[in-house]
Amino acid sequence: MKPSSTEWISDNGAKARILVVDDDQRLLSSLASLLNGKGYEVTEAQGGRNAYRMLESEAFDLAMVDLRMPDVDGFDVMERLASQQPDCGVIVVSGESSFSSVSRALRRGALDYIRKPFDPEELLATVNGVLGKRSLIRAHEHIRMRLEKSEELHRYIVNSSPDIVFMLDGDGHFCFVNSKIESLLGYQPAELFGRHFRHILDDRDIARGTYALKGPNISADNPRTLEIRLKTRGSRKANRHFEITAFPIDPETWPHSNATSGKHGGREARYYGTARDVTERKEAEAFINFQAYHDLLTRLPNRALFKDRLDLAITHARRSEQKLAVMFLDLDRFKVINDTLGHAMGDRLLQAVTRRLERCLRKGDTLSRFGGDEFTLLLPSIHSHEDARQISKKLIKALRAPFQLGDHEVFVGVSIGIAIYPEAGESMDHLIQNADIAMYHVKARGKDGYRFYSESMSIDTANRLNLERDLRLALERDELRVFYQPQVCSSSNRIVGLEALVRWQHPERGLLYPRDFLPLAEETKLIGKLSECVLDQACRDVGQWIRDGHSDLRLAVNLSPVQVEHPRFVETLMDQIQAHGFPPQNLEIEITENVIMNDLEQISQKLRELAALGVRIAIDDFGTGYSSLNYIHRLPIHTLKVDQSFVKAIRSGEDGACIVNAIVAMAHGLKLEIVAEGVETDEQLAYLKSLGCHQVQGFFYGPARPADVIEKTLGHIPVRAVAF
């Protein structure tokens, strides 16, 4: 009597013993229940290790094995079955559908492959069929059926694979390729048959690709795997990245038939492989790598990549005994523009600056964004300092033209410090640090220039660090003093105004003048707090004298570019003088022409707001900057201050006084008051009086003095012999 279609009886009349192996207990129980219901004797093994123990104590006719298990996977269980119970058949029940996994399972001896989720009827039919084949294992018919089933499964997997599946002959010509190649690369399978596989390799990978199949130790258990670029048909698509896995075919064990196209045009397959499209992964890796080594705003190399290239350049320069230059670039006035127009405009400005800087570079130079508005530049293989000097001049010139940001026209400059290898340092960190030091010396001397590093700068830097520390303490300890220099009416010889000048009573160095510490205060951003302290004291002193009866006394104060360019400059200044009850009409602020021209539109608006509130505006050091009649005519300016360098040029019979003549004449024409600075002699005073200069100040009436000394002179004629 033959067994029914749903039950299989062994040769000795016993029910078939089936080992079910899976790490999912729910699925395991479901599968066992299904098989038990059909009369099979089922043993459950949750995971590969439990399967090992079952195989040591019991014999089975059939094992149903999941491939992907956490402790011991299905391939290991199949290997143990092959060694301990070679007569036991194997069916793979798995959700793993990749071609390589299925192919590997079949090579390990699997009789069938069922994909999860499975159809119960299909599974029972498969189990019954496999067990039936086992009874005829020695018969030729069993062998034929097994091969046929295996080839059907292989054909199904190949045709439904998400990867390109191919076969090559011994010379590398295509014997077979599945239809996936058409959707991924645009080729028809038929047009590739008989052609060498290098026909679809990217030109850059031909040598590596052809060598791969000739490498040593390549076998079915040790396939060749490599990532390579394949050409797309035509030029509309970019070449794509693939992960190739290929192994040689053993003619004695690999079944060939017309159905699998094992032969084509008389060629016999010798290599079998897959090509998986990994283009998206490679593009993601490339983007992540770009992010790690580039600044996303400017697309320039970042600090890490710059240091890496500098390190390589130093190694090369040392070996070839060449020079190289490291430049540290810091944009002037960027913070003001960023604060005024917003970060979006600031970002656009950085991108525009980057484009201009890149146009000045040589091939092989590396420009990087070091952070904020700081850039670094590597110039490898230079011959002398002159090479770096010429590049610096080009960079400075490139940034002098205005930038158009929407409706705003803005100006920026650049301060450049230069360190030459090996004079300014032999290590990466020393070169960057010393270029930074040189850049700060440019800042201290007026910005918008360049300087080479020298050893004396390191000494200056150490002193500057100490001085910066002391200056911070001075602001806390109230060590700053306000001195006043009289501004005298040239016709009446009476004091009409006082210019407030800061001094620092240093506990160790004595009395320090502005030139000794104001550049440092601007560089370290302490200038705002310092100016605030000076204005507070001046408003208290002069405000008291005004209340004591000197109602027309004018207070003149110098303001730094940092203060004037700040977005809240007007509000901050008015809040400060109102806090002291100081009358705005008695205040005159002094700013330089360069501050105005840095951002004419914004500064003009601020000055108009101040003038509307009663504050007077004076242009300090007139004649040393732009001296544009256009901006003087447009702005609410009340006073021009003639720079002392022009006053000193007044000599008998000399032409140096011509500039003073022109400035005074222009001021009269524009109905502006004039203050001449640096008056020291009777000759200078007489000449200025003859021109109609309204007011003078200088050592002719004495130097700037403390408040207690100045208070005694108010209301008196400050004759030189008795003034101070």
pLDDT digits (tens, 9 = 90+) for 379-388: 998 989 999 9
Q: Is the pLDDT of residue 710 over 60?
A: yes
**pLDDT of 599:** 67
The whole-number average pLDDT for the span 574-578 is 92
Q: Which pTM was predicted?
A: 0.47
Helix, coil or strand: residue 617: strand
Is 125 inside a domain boundary? Answer: yes
Mean of the per-residue pLDDT values for the chain?
83
- In the prediction, which pLDDT does 542 show? 94
Q: Please report which confidence band the pLDDT of residue 4 belongs to, taking 50, 70 and 90 as the band edges.
A: very low
Q: What percent of the chain has pLDDT over 90?
A: 31
Range of the domain at 526: 479-554
121 with 180, same domain? no
433 and 309 within one domain: yes
CB-based contacts of 340, cutoff 8 Å, min separation 6: 565, 567, 599, 602
Of 432, 417, 325, the residue nearest 380 (C-alpha): 325
Over residues 381-409, the mean pLDDT reads 90
Paired sense of beta strands 554-558 and 587-592, if any: parallel
Q: Band of the pLDDT at 623, cuts 50, 70, 90?
A: low
pLDDT score of 11 = 47
User: Do 248 and 320 fall into the same domain?
Assistant: no
Burial 338-358 (b: 16+ CB within 10 A, else e): bebbeeebbebbbebbbebbe
723: in domain: no
Flag whether 470 is in a domain.
no
Given 250, 283, 316, the domain boundary residue is: 283
Lowest-confidence range among 90-94, 321-325, 510-514, 522-526? 522-526
Assess whether 300 and 220 both reside in one domain: no
226 and 86 belong to one structural domain: no
Question: Whole-angstrom Cα distance, residue 228 to residue 239?
Answer: 10
Residue where a domain stops, chosen among 123, 138, 160: 160
Is 436 in the same domain as 520? no
In a shared domain, residues 433 and 311: yes
Say if residue 317 is in the same domain as residue 373: yes
Q: Are residues 443 and 301 in the same domain?
A: yes
- Domain containing 180 — which CATH number? 3.30.450.20
Instruction: Say whether pLDDT at 690 is over 50.
Output: yes
**Number of structural domains in the chain:** 4
Assign 261 a pLDDT band (cuts: 50, 70, 90): very low
| Claim to verify: residue 150 and residue 169 sit in the same structural domain | no
Verify that 257 and 330 share a domain, yes or no: no
Percent of the chain with pLDDT over 70: 87
- Answer whether residue 183 is part of any domain: yes
| CATH number for 398 | 3.30.70.270
Is 304 among the domain residues? Answer: yes
**Domain boundary at 501, 535, 554, which?**
554
In this prediction, residues 427-444 reach a mean pLDDT of 87
SS3 per-residue string spanning 368-418? EEEECCEEEEEEEEECCHHHHHHHHHHHHHHHHCCEEECCEEECCEEEEEE
Q: What is the CATH number of the domain that holds 58?
A: 3.40.50.2300
The bridge status of strand 164-169 relative to strand 224-230 is unpaired
In the chain, how long is the greatest CA-to-CA distance? 145
597 confidence band (pLDDT: 50, 70, 90) = low
Q: Is residue 426 part of a domain?
A: yes
Q: Are residues 311 and 447 in the same domain?
A: yes
Instruction: Give the up-direction half-sphere exposure of residue 696: CA atoms within 13 A in the CB hemisphere.
Output: 28
Whether 57 is covered by a domain: the verdict is yes
Give per-residue pLDDT as tens, 37-57: 888 999 999 999 999 999 998
> Residues with Cβ < 8 Å from 177, sequence gap 6 or more?
164, 165, 166, 167, 189, 192, 193
Report which secondary-structure segment, H or E, holds 497. strand 495-506
Say if 246 falls within a structural domain: yes
Residue 651: pLDDT over 90: no
